[in-house]
Amino acid sequence: MSKVEDFLSGKEEEEIVEAIRQAERETSGEIRVHIEKTTPIPHYDRALEVFQMLKMFNTKQQNGVLLYIAVDDHKFVIYGDEGIDKVVPKDFWKTTRTTIEKHFKSGSFKEGIIAGILKAGQELKVHFPWQINDEDELPNEISKG
């Protein structure tokens, strides 16, 4: 059985989608989660590939954030588009990583993912506040490779 299917329960997935919705209620930024089993290429490169595959560059303000997880490899990458990268504090990606890692290390995957989403949301909110004409530019559902 693929570990991707075992990684999160249906209920946990719902909670994650809800966290994305909650984060996006306060920012125009777009957050996505992609989970797959493994990849033969470096994880950062793969995250970038997935970012393109999911057409995450298609946001007006270039403010998409992808949390990429390779379950069997025990690796994850948090990747943000240029618009965000330009404005967030230098240590933002590192501190978000640390937040997620802390939960992952104790096996709390759902908690880690949600903590990462909410942390990214808080930062996005500062630079890309939600606006009345905001659109949900990217689906909130978890994608699987």
Helix (H) / strand (E) element for 33: namely: strand 30-36
* 141 binds Ca ion, rule: CB under 5 A: no
- What is the Cα–Cα distance from 70 to 93, expressed in whole angstroms? 18
Nearer to Ca ion, 48 or 54 (CB): 54
Residue from 13, 28, 46, 81 binding Ca ion (CB under 5 A): 28
Number of chain residues interacting with Ca ion (CB under 5 A):
6
Amino acid at 15: E
Residue from 8, 13, 16, 30 binding Ca ion (CB under 5 A): 30
Q: Beta-carbon neighbour count of residue 135 at 10 Å?
A: 10
- What is the Cα–Cα distance from 112 to 131, expressed in whole angstroms? 28
C-alpha dist (Å) from residue 69 to 25, 82, 128: 24, 21, 25
Supply the minimum distance, in Å, between the C-beta of residue 139 and Ca ion: 6
Nearer to Ca ion, 24 or 104 (CB): 24
* 136 binds Ca ion, rule: CB under 5 A: yes
The binding site for Ca ion (CB under 5 A) comprises 28, 30, 134, 136, 138, 140
